[in-house]
């Protein structure tokens, strides 16, 4: 968080030069590698998403989130709290941008519903309260009743940033109400779950890493179901000052992913939860399917020019490994929800990594749409990955791709014309691919250096696949 921004710039420019060399080398290849595509009928590692819940700036629930993104609107507003504005004025130079994707109605929490006394609830961080509510809603959405989960092998994997906050209240209620580990533990305690309850902090990639870990536990049959996601709620203005001092915040207060006018991030509150189950068992139980996770993975940048400096090489290696291991044909991927933080030199690193990973397998150009939810709701940190996944799941549900907003002129460091990607700027129908399905990927990159990548597919009833192959277009 305190890395000199000039160091990041110099290191990123060096990375861009390296990617240009790699791109030239890739374009000169005689042919692309071939991946034998997975067999949908016999894929044992497939994980079904059977329920979800979400909240963020401008959206309370999945219907409002889809309305927000499909209509190309944003929930980012000016900070109006006078105490926060006074804090910014006294503690930061340069001036802190005052645009923020704030979640509304944080004060409404029915503590007695969760068997929590009003006094204890007053000592709880807002993130714990909201996470309890949204986890319960996601389970309801999945048709999972509380009494049926009691003492079952259900894992809880929650991405979160920060730790116990200080203050005048030193009671044990305050300690538990603000400690990150209790975010996941409180869900397991309320539902009497016996699977692992983990809080994962890899910074901005936390929730997608949490989902990857949940998928691994399901694939290894250590658990039978997972509650996975992440949460970030800003209840203190100090974080804004720290990010501003690090040169991370957009001075214009506008999040513009992939655009040449991109000048930094805009932060936002957010929470997202998905309920996961092995596909074979979800089909057996006739669960509703939002989508099927076909592959996921996590890696680390290792040493770069600075601990927060990204590595396109690590990002590329992760993407390639996910596609190979999961037998994903990249030409069937039609959409990528990018990390897309809207930094002038950070976005090109991500796009060049994707470009190089795709070029390993195909020479096709401009066939895969790309977008970033951060333009709509801000950078929700530990919740960013899961909310990006939920955006895709809602797109699959509606069979449409939502527009990526605030994009006018392409970033000068990104050559979209000669890449597999184009920025999707309008609400469009989502056609099927060569496998008669709709396929997408999500990237989430932490300033910790931990990267996550996931591939998600529309669920298909096999009895209807042949007909779709005739009717669909790729």
The domain ranges of the chain are 5-25+295-459, 47-284
In this prediction the pTM is: 0.90
Catalytic residues, by residue number, are: 204, 339, 379
Name the CATH code of domain 47-284 (choices 3.40.47.10, 3.40.50.300, 2.40.110.10, 3.30.390.50): 3.40.47.10
Q: Do domains 5-25+295-459 and 47-284 have the same CATH topology?
A: yes
Average pLDDT over residues 179-191: 91
Tell which wins on pLDDT, 406 or 13.
406
Q: Where are the alpha helices (DSSP H) in 30-167?
A: 62-70, 82-91, 118-122, 126-141, 146-149
Average pLDDT over residues 93-111: 89
pLDDT of the residue at 181:
87
**Highest averaged pLDDT of the listed ranges 16-30, 243-257, 385-399:** 385-399
pLDDT over 60 at 472, yes or no: no
pLDDT over 80 at 166, yes or no: no
**Which range has the worst mean pLDDT, 27-31, 135-139, 188-192, 336-340?**
27-31
CATH class of the region 5-25+295-459: alpha beta
Average pLDDT over residues 236-261: 92
pLDDT of the residue at 214:
98
**Which range has the worst mean pLDDT, 77-91, 175-189, 433-447, 460-474?**
460-474
Pairing of strands 77-78, 59-60: unpaired
pLDDT of the residue at 94:
82
Average pLDDT over residues 385-391: 98
Average pLDDT over residues 191-210: 96
How far is Cα 170 from Cα 156, in angstroms, rounded to an integer? Answer: 28
| Residue 230 near residue 382 (C-beta atoms within 8 A) | yes
**With pLDDT > 90 as the criterion, what percentage of the chain qualifies?**
72
* CA 338 and chain centroid, separation: 9
Tell which wins on pLDDT, 35 or 175.
35
The torsion angles phi and psi of 397, rounded to 5 degrees, stand at -60, -40
pLDDT of the residue at 174:
44
Average pLDDT over residues 418-441: 97
CA distances from 184 to 69, 157, 215, 229, 425 (A): 29, 7, 17, 10, 37
């Amino acid at each position: 968080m305190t890395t000199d921004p000039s160091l990041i710039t110099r290191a990123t420019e060096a990375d861009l030069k390296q990617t240009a060399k790699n791109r030239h080398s890739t374009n000169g290849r005689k042919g692309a590698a071939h991946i034998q595509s997975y067999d949908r009928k016999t894929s044992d590692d497939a994980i079904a998403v059977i329920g979800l819940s979400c909240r963020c700036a401008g959206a309370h629930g999945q219907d409002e989130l889809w309305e927000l993104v499909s209509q190309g609107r944003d929930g980012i507003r000016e900070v109006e709290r006078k105490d926060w504005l006074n804090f910014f004025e006294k503690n930061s130079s340069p001036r802190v941008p005052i645009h923020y994707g704030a979640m509304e109605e944080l004060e409404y929490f029915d503590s007695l519903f969760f068997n929590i006394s009003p006094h204890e609830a007053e000592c709880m961080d807002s993130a714990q309260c909201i996470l309890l509510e949204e986890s319960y809603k996601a389970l309801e959405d999945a048709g999972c009743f509380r009494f049926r989960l009691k003492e079952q092998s259900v894992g809880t994997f929650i991405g979160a940033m920060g730790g116990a906050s200080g203050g005048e209240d030193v009671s044990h209620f305050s300690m538990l109400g603000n400690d990150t580990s209790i975010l996941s533990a409180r869900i397991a305690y309320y539902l009497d779950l016996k699977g692992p309850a983990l809080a994962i902090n890899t910074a901005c990639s936390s929730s997608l890493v949490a989902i990857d870990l949940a998928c691994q536990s399901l694939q290894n049959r250590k658990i039978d179901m997972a509650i996975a996601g992440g949460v970030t709620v800003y209840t203190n203005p100090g974080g804004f000052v720290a990010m501003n001092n690090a040169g991370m915040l957009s001075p214009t207060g506008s999040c513009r992913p992939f655009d040449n006018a991109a000048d930094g991030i805009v932060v936002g509150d957010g929470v997202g939860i998905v309920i996961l189950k092995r596909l074979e068992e979800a089909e057996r139980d006739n669960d509703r399917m939002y989508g099927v996770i076909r592959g996921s993975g996590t890696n680390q940048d290792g040493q770069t020019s600075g601990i927060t400096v990204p590595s396109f090489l690590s990002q590329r290696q992760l993407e390639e490994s996910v596609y190979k291991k999961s037998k994903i044909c990249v030409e069937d991927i039609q959409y990528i929800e990018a990390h897309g933080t809207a930094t002038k030199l950070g976005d090109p690193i991500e796009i060049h990594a994707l470009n190089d990973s795709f070029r390993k397998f195909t020479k096709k150009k401009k066939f895969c749409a790309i977008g970033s939810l951060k333009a709509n709701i801000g950078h929700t940190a530990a919740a960013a990955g899961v909310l990006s996944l939920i955006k895709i799941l809602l797109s699959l549900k509606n069979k449409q791709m939502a527009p990526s907003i605030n994009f006018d002129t392409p970033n000068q460091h990104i050559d979209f014309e000669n890449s597999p990607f184009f920025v999707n700027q309008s609400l469009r129908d989502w056609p099927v691919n060569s496998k008669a399905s709709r396929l997408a990927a999500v990237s989430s990159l932490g300033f910790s250096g931990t990267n996550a990548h996931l591939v998600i597919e529309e669920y298909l009833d096999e009895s209807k696949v042949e007909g779709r192959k005739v009717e669909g277009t790729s």
